[in-house]
Amino acid sequence: MEILNTFLGIDNTFFKVFGYQMSYIEFSGTTLGLASVWLATKANIHTWTTGILNVIAFFIIYYQIQLYSDMFLQIFFLGSSILGLWQWYKKKLVKNDKIITSLNQNYLIYIIMSIIIFSILLGFFMSRIHIYYPDFFKKPTSYPYTDALISILSIYATFIMAYKKVECWILWILVDIISSILYFQKGVLFISLEYFLFLIMAIIGLFQWIKSIKYAQGFSTR
């Protein structure tokens, strides 16, 4: 039990980087997250398996630093990762695992509007969650509306990615920009750095998926 508590505690140092105390759980979660995003840029099915391990680690981290929207988001990520794994596996079975498409304009407008509405609603709820459930959440959430926006953007990005829509990378780029700033403010510097690296990989992923669409369109006209 003591070994498990040492691994899970955000304040238990694994090693130091330029004076920053890296915990076991933060190092494990960020490493798995980087692997998952890199595999996603390659449209590799194992992005989902590494992602499942990543969300478990981040659920524990976010509870400890009072980012409750992000904490609950990990539960969604667990379910959506299983969905994504199944969707990509089915496409692989029918030799269609590399097909990437884009959203139509009407659906994209719906997504933008719903992201705004749900972010406001979730932010309001999370700003008061310590009042509603004081036994579980003894401290108020940090940056409730920013945290909520990250969560809602991530939910839509994950669903869109599960169906291999190229616009998922635009949402991930927004998530990564906001998250890298937020986590820097919260003092989890390695996670902040991770999201900056996510941003770079998301930009690469966007261009690679666009390239895949153009290749598929060119192939279909032959």
pLDDT tens series, the chain, 222 aa: 656 555 566 666 667 766 667 777 888 888 888 888 888 777 788 888 898 888 888 888 888 877 777 788 788 888 888 887 887 777 665 555 557 788 888 888 999 999 999 999 999 998 998 888 888 777 788 888 998 999 899 889 988 887 888 999 999 999 999 999 998 887 878 778 888 988 998 999 899 888 877 655 544 434
Amino acid identity, position 61 = I
Residue 164 structural domain = 2-220
CA 17 to chain CA mean position, Å: 24
Compute CA distances 86 → 57, 165, 168, whole Å: 22, 16, 18
- Please give the pLDDT value at position 4: 58
- The model's pTM is 0.72
Question: Which residues 6+ apart lie within 8 Å of 100 measured at CB?
Answer: 43, 164, 165, 166, 209, 212, 213, 216
CA atoms of 201 and 207, how far apart (whole Å): 10
From CA 202, how far away is CA 34, in angstroms rounded? Answer: 11
Instruction: Report the domain count for the chain.
Output: 1
Predicted local confidence at residue 218, as pLDDT: 47
